[in-house]
Structure 1
Amino acid sequence: MATPRTTARTLAVFYAFGGAAGLLALLGATPHSGRSWVIATIASSALLGAVVIGRWGPRWPRAVFHVPVAAATGLIGAAAALAPDPLTALAIASIIAFVAIDAFFFFRHGPALAHLGGAVLGISAVLLLRPDVPAPTVLALVTVVVALGTVTRDLVWRASSASCDPLTGLANRRGLDDALHELLAAADRRGEPLSAALLDLDHFKQVNDTDGHEAGDRVLLRVTEAWSAQLPPGAVLARHGGDEFALLLPGLTGPAALAEVQRLTALHPDIGVSGGVAQHVPGETRAQLMRRADAALYVAKDGGRNRCALDGAARDQLSTDLAGALAAGQLGVAFQPVVELSGNRVIGVEALARWDHPERGAVPPDEFIALAEQHGLLTALGEQALRTALGQLTGLREATGVHLLLGVNVSVRELAAADYPQRFAALLAEFGWSADQVVVEVTETQLESDAGAVRQNLEALRGLGAVVAADDFGTGYSSLSRIDVLPVQHLKLDTSFIASITTSPRRAQLLASIVALADNLGLGLVAEGVETVEQDAELRRLGVLLAQGWLYGRPMSVTDLAVWLDARSVDGAFAVAG
C-alpha cells in the first residue's frame, strides 16, 4: 500500500482530473441549464476537494481516505444521473474507473473489493435507471472498470512484494528506504521530529546453529507479531536484514523514541535485544540518519548487549537535562524494604535513585546513572540521592516513630574524592542521623580496584560507624579469593544468584557454602531479588538472615512506604505477608 503522502497526492490528482473531465463533458452536452449548473457545481466541488486533499491529506490516518474515495463514487453517480443526454452520462460515468484504481492502490484487498463493488453497482444502477442508456453499454463500461481494478490490484501486489520481506511480511530494505524518504520529507515540511532505531536480536546466530533455521524463523515471527501489534500510530517497522529490524517513529524525539523502543523490546524478556536510536537532524540524508542509529546500536552492544542506546547528540541533550534536574533538586528516590527473615521484620530500606523527565517520563536508572558517569555528574547525583533519602526518612520517622536503616549506593568515583567521608558526615549531621544507621553499598566489581583513596575512604566511613556492604556479590571474577580482604561488613548476593536456588541443587549448595563462609568470617549476608515464596523458604532453610525483593515489597515512594508499613504493623513488629 502507498504511504499517506503518496495516497493523498494520487487521490488529489484523480479528484482534479475527475472534476476537469466533468466540466469538459458538459461542453458537448445537450443544453439543459438547470442540470448543467448542478453538474458544474459537482465538478467544481471535485476540484476544490483536490486542493483540500493535496494540502492536508498527507496528515490524515489511512482510514480517513475511505471517506473521499466513497464520496467520489457518490459525486460521479449523482453527476451521471443528472447528465442531460446519454453520451454525457457515459462520459461522466467512465470517471468511476478512477475509484477502481484508487481502491486497490490505497487499501487492502477486502476494503478495496468493497469500494469496487459499491462503485460498480452504484454506477450501473444509475445508468440502467436512465431510459436512454442501453444495458449492453452499461455492461461494457462495467467490464472495463473491473478490468482496470484487477490490473491495478496485480500491479500493486507486485510492487508491494518487491518492498516486503517474504518471511515476516514487514517492509524490507527497499520498503524502508521508500518509507523513510516520505517521512523525512514530511518531517522537514512540518518541522516535526522523526527518530529511527535499529534493533538487533542478541545471540541469534546461536539459535540458528543450535536449533536450526526453522527455530530462528519462529523467533523472528514471534518478535514481528508482538512488535507490530504494539506500534504507535504512523510507525514503520521493517526487517533490515537477518536478525536486524529497523523502526521509524515520526513525531517522536530521540529520548521519547528510546523509551518507546525499550517498551517494545521488553515485550519479550526472554529474547535479548540491543537497540540504537537516533533523532533526525534537519538537512541530513537518509543514510546519515541510519548511520547514526547504527553507531548507537554498537554502543549498546559494547555496553553488554540487551540494552538500548541513544545517539550521541540526543545523549548530550539528555545529559544537559539531567544536569538541570540535579541543579533544581528534581531527582527522586524510591525505597525498597530489607527484611529480617527470622522475625519477619522490616529493618531497613535501600534508597534507589529515580528521575522523571518532563517529556520522556521515567528514565531507567541504568541509563541516567551511566549518563551521569559519562558526563561527570555522579558526585552530584549521589549526594542528592542521599540528601533526598535522609530528608524523606527523617520526615517518616518524625511522623510515625519508625526507625529504619538506610542503604545507599555509592560509586567508586564518589569514594575516590578525598573529602567524601567529611561530606558524608556533614549530611548525616544536618539531618540528625548517626552513621551506624546508614549502610554504604558499593558494587563488588568496583571494590576489586586497588585504588588507595577508595579503600582509605571506606575505612574512614567504617571509622565513623557506617556499615559497608559489597553490592551485587557473586558477579566479580575473584569474589571468593578476595572475600577476606574486601573492606566490607556485609555481602549482598546478586539477583542472578538467587534466581535459580530452587531449581539448581548445585546453586543451592554453593549458597549454603557462602552462608557458612560468611558466618566464619563474621560477615552479614543479604539476598537480593527474592520474588517467590519458594525462594524465601530456601533462604530460611539455608540460614540467610536478611533479604529484599519484590516478594516483600517493590521500590516505592516514601508516602507509599508509610502506608505499606502501617498495613503490616502488628504489635510493633512489621510482619511480612509476602
Structure 2
Amino acid sequence: MGLTAGAFYAAGGAAALAVILSATFHDPGDRHVLLALATTALLSSLALFRWGGHLPRGAFHVVVGAGTVLITFAVPLCPTTATALAITTVYSLVAIDVMFFFGWASALVHLVALFGAAVWALHDRSGVTAGVAIALALVCLVITVVVGALVRRASDAHHDSLTGLRNRRGFDAALDAAVAAARHGAPLAAALIDVDHFKTVNDGHGHAAGDRLLQQLSGELLEGLPQEAVLARYGGDEFAVLLPGRTGAQTLELVEDLRRGLTSAGCSAGVAGHLPGESGADLVRRADTALYAAKLSGRGRCRLDDLDSAELAHDLAQALSAGQVRAWFQPVVRPTTGEVVGVEALARWRHPERGCVRPDEFIAVAETTGLIGELGAAVLADACRGAVELARVHGDGLLLTVNVSGRELVSEGYAERALALVRASGWPVERLVVEVTESLLDASSGPALETLHRLRAAGARVAIDDFGTGYSAFSRLDTLPADYLKLDHGFTAQITTSDRRAGVLQALLSLSRALGMQVIAEGVEDEEQDALLGALGCPLAQGYLYARPAPVAELLARPAPAGTRAG
C-alpha cells in the first residue's frame, strides 16, 4: 500500500512539474503555489516509499484524501483548460488507490468526494462543457470499476471463502515477504494450530456444524492475535500464524495463552522461530513437525521447535553414533509379593555439558528432527541386550516393554526392522511388549494400527500406555489391538483416596479379564496403594515403591525380592 500510494504521488507531482515547465502562467503566484504543491507531492512520495509500510491501514484514508485535496488545489492554478484537464487525469490514480486499498463502502465515500472535488475544480473553466465532464467521469468510472473487480478477484484467490482469512496461497505470499525482511536480522516465527478431533464434529453433527466451528474459531484467533500477525486458514481444520518481530519462545507463550483462552474448540499447536538463512518452507515444515509432536504427546498443547532444539538434535545425533543413549529399566512386579515379571525400558542420555537431559525433551527433539527412528532403534537394541542379562536373574519368563513413537509406527517397514533387531539380539519376540498411547493411535490412524497388527502376528504383544488420562474410553477397549493396559500415574494415585476411582478400577479389571487383557498400574508409591491393588486383583504394577529406573548393572547388583523366580 505504501509503495503504490508513493508511486501515484510521484506521478502526480511529476505531472504538475511538466505543466510548470511547459506552460506560460499569467500570474506568477499561481506558478509558485503549483510548484509548492508539486514539491509536496514528490516529498510525500519519498516518505511513503520509506515509511509507508509501517503506517496502520486506517492512515491510508488520510493518504488518499490528501491526494484528492492536492489535485483539487492544483487544477484551478493551471493557466489553460488543456493543462487543467491534464492535471485532472491524476484523479484516476486516486480512484485506483481507492479500489486497491478499501472495501466497497469506504471506496464509495472516497469516490463521491473525488467526483465532487473534480466538479468544483473545473466549474469555471471555459470550454469544459457538460459533455467533456461526463466523458472524463465515465473514463474514471470505468477505470475504477474494472480495477476494483480485478483487485477483488485477485484478493479472492488469496482468501478463504468460509472464514474470510487468507488461504494457503495468501499465507505463502506473506511468508515470502516476511522471510525476506527476516534476512536483515528481524525476528520471525510461525505457528500451525490444529483443531483437536475435528473429524468427530463433522461425523457427529454434520459439515455445517464443522463450518460454524471454524468460523467461530477464526474469530477468536483474530481477536487474540496482535495487529501485526498474519492469520490464515492453512488447510481443512488447520490455521497458520505468522508473527514478525517475535522469537519462537515469545510466540510459544503467546500461542499457548491464546490456545488456553479458546472456547469454541480444543487445539494443538506447533511453533518454530526462523533460523538464519532458512527458507519460508523450512520454517513452516519445522512448525508442522512441532505440531505433530504436540498431537502425539496427547493433544491440547503447544510445542516449540527452536534453535536450542536444533543444537540439541546435533548433540543427540552424535550421542547416538557414539552409543551414549542407553536403556534404563524399571521393574514390573506383582502387587503385594514384589515378584519381578517384567521390566520397562526407558531411554536415558547424559550430555557432557548439560548433564542428564530429560527424556521428554530429547525425545521431542528426536521426533521433530527425524532422529526418532535412530533413537528408537538404539534404545530397543540396548534394551534387548540388557533384558537378556536380567532374564538370567529373574527367569526366562521376563517381559520387556519398550515405548514406540508414532513416527516410528507409521514409517514404512518399521515392524520388519524392529523384529529383525530383536531377533538379532537373542531376545524372544514373544516376550517383547510394545507400548503406545491411545491418543497416538488416534493421531496416526490406519498405518499405526497396521504396524501393530504385524507385530502381534509375529508374536509381540502391545500395551496401551497412559490409560485413564481423560481421552480413554471403555467403549473402545474391544477395538484396540492390545494385550495390556497401563494405568496412568494420576489414575493410580487416586485409588486409595476416592471410592469411586477404586470402583472404576475394579470394573476395568473385570472388563480387561473378559477381553483377555492384563492391567499394569503405573506410579505405585506407597504400601496402601500396593495392598489395594492386590486386594482388587490387579495382576501387575510398577512404581517407585518397588524400584526407580536404573541401569542394568545396578539392577543386577540388587538382591532379588523374595517372590522372584530363579533363572
Q: Secondary structure at the match of 2:194?
A: strand
Q: Alignment partner for residue 127 of structure 1, among 117, 122, 126?
A: 122
CA distances 1:137-168 after superposition (whole Å, capped 9, x unpaired): 22322222222111111011110111111211
SS of aligned partner of 2:261? coil
Contact 1:255 1:314 in 2 (8 A): no
Aligned partner letter, 1:290: V
Structure 1 residues 509 and 269, CA gap change in structure 2 (3 angstroms):
farther
**Measured at CA, do residues 30 and 172 of structure 1 come closer, stay the same or move farther in structure 2, by a change above 3 Å?**
same
Range with greater deviation from structure 2 (148-157 or 307-316): 307-316
How far apart, CA to CA, are the structure 2 residues paired with 1:473 and 1:210? 24
Structure 2 CA distance for aligned equivalents of residues 151 and 65 of structure 1 = 21
Q: Give the 3-state SS of the residue equivalent to 1:183 in structure 2.
A: helix
**Residue in 1 aligned with 2:237?**
243
Structure-to-structure mapping, 1:467-506, within 5 angstroms: 475=469, 492-493=493-494
Distance 1:508 1:83, change over 3 A: farther
Q: Which residue does 1:90 correspond to in 2?
A: 85
Deviations 1:494-551 (A, max 9, x none): 9xx99xx9xxxx879659999xxx9xx8679xxxxxxxxxxxxxxxxxxxxxxxxxxx
Aligned-partner residue type, residue 228 of structure 2: G
Q: Does 1:308 align with 2:302?
A: yes
- Cα distance, 1:266–1:371 mapped onto 2, change above 3 Å: farther
State which of 253, 256, 268 in structure 2 corresponds to 1:259.
253
Structure 1 residue 293 and structure 2 residue 324: aligned?
no
Counterpart AA for 2:138? T
Query: How far off is 1:15 after superposition?
Result: 1.1
- Residue 391 (structure 2) aligns with: none
Instruction: Report the secondary structure of 1:266's partner residue.
Output: helix
Listed one character per residue, the Cα deviations across residues 361-399 of structure 1 (whole Å, up to 9, x for unaligned) are xxxxxxxxx9965569xxxxxxxxxxxxxxxxxxxxxxx
Q: Deviations over 1:4-33 (max 9, x none)?
A: xxx111111111111111111233423332
Q: Match for residue 14 of structure 2?
A: 20
What pairs up with 1:370-449 in 2 under 5 angstroms?
Answer: 374=360
Cα deviation for residue 263 of structure 1 reads: 2.1
What is aligned with 2:58?
63
1:140 aligned residue (126, 130, 135): 135
User: Quick check: 1:176 aligned with 2:171?
Assistant: yes
- Deviation of the 1:316 alpha carbon: 6.7
Partner of 2:210: 216
Distance 1:115 1:507, change over 3 A: farther
- Helix, strand or coil: the match of 2:183? helix
Give the RMSD, CA atoms, in angstroms: 3.6
1:58-116 CA-to-partner distances (Å, cap 9, x unmatched) read 12221122222111101100000211221111111110101100011012222222222
Among candidates 39, 42, 46, match of residue 37 of structure 2: 42
215 and 70 in structure 1: CA distance in 2 versus 1, 3 angstrom threshold: same
Label 1:475 to 1:311 Cα distance change in 2 as closer, same or farther (>3 A): closer
Report runs of 4+ in structure 1 exceeding 6 Å deviation: 316-319, 506-509, 511-514
Q: For residues 164 and 513 of structure 1, what CA distance do their matches in structure 2 show? A: 52
TM-score (norm 2): 0.56
CA distance in 2, matches of 1:101, 1:266: 43
Aligned to 1:150: 145
Compute the displacement of 1:233 (Å): 1.2
User: After superposition, what is the alpha-carbon deviation per residue over 1:399-420, rounded to whole angstroms, capped at 9, x for unaligned?
Assistant: xxxxxxxxxxxxxxxxxxxxxx
Contact 1:116/1:149 (8 A) holds in 2: no
Q: Which residue of 2 aligns with 1:334?
A: none
Q: Percent of aligned positions with the same letter in both sequences?
A: 46
Match for 2:272: what amino acid?
A
Partner amino acid for 1:150? V
Aligned partners of 2:167, 2:123: CA distance in 1, in Å? 47
> Which residue does 2:276 correspond to in 1?
282
Cross-structure match for 1:392: none
> Which secondary structure state, in structure 2, belongs to the residue aligned with residue 247 of structure 1?
strand
Which residue in the other structure is 1:106 paired with?
101
For structure 1, the residue ranges without an aligned partner over 5 or more in a row are: 1-6, 320-369, 377-471, 478-485, 525-578
Q: Flag the 1:303–1:375 CA change in 2: closer, same or farther, 3 A.
A: closer
Q: Distance in 1 between matches of 2:189 and 2:528?
A: 54
- Partner of 1:44: helix, strand, or coil? helix
Does the residue aligned with 1:277 lie in a helix, a strand or coil?
Answer: strand
Q: Does the C-alpha gap of structure 1 residues 287 and 15 become closer, same or farther in structure 2, counting only changes over 3 Å?
A: same
Q: Are residues 473 and 10 of structure 1, via their aligned partners in 2, closer, same or farther at CA, if it must alter by over 3 Å?
A: closer
**Amino acid in structure 2 at the alignment position of 1:16:** A
Q: What corresponds to 1:116 in structure 2? A: 111
Say whether the 8 Å CA contact 1:473–1:492 is kept in structure 2.
no
Aligned match of 1:421: none
Query: Which residue of structure 1 aligns with residue 4 of structure 2?
Result: 10
For the residues of structure 2 that align with 1:76 and 1:314, how far apart are their CA atoms? Answer: 56
SS in 2 for 1:271: coil
CA distance in 1, matches of 2:256, 2:308: 16
CA, structure 1 residues 209+141, in 2 after alignment: closer, same or farther (shift >3 Å)? same
Residue pair 1:197, 1:276 contacting (<8 A) in 2 also: yes
Q: Residues 511 and 288 from structure 1, CA distance in 2 versus in 1: closer, same or farther, beyond 3 angstroms?
A: closer
Distance 1:198 1:98, change over 3 A: same
Which residue pairs with 1:268 in the alignment? 262
Q: 1:239 to 1:314 in 2, by over 3 A?
A: farther
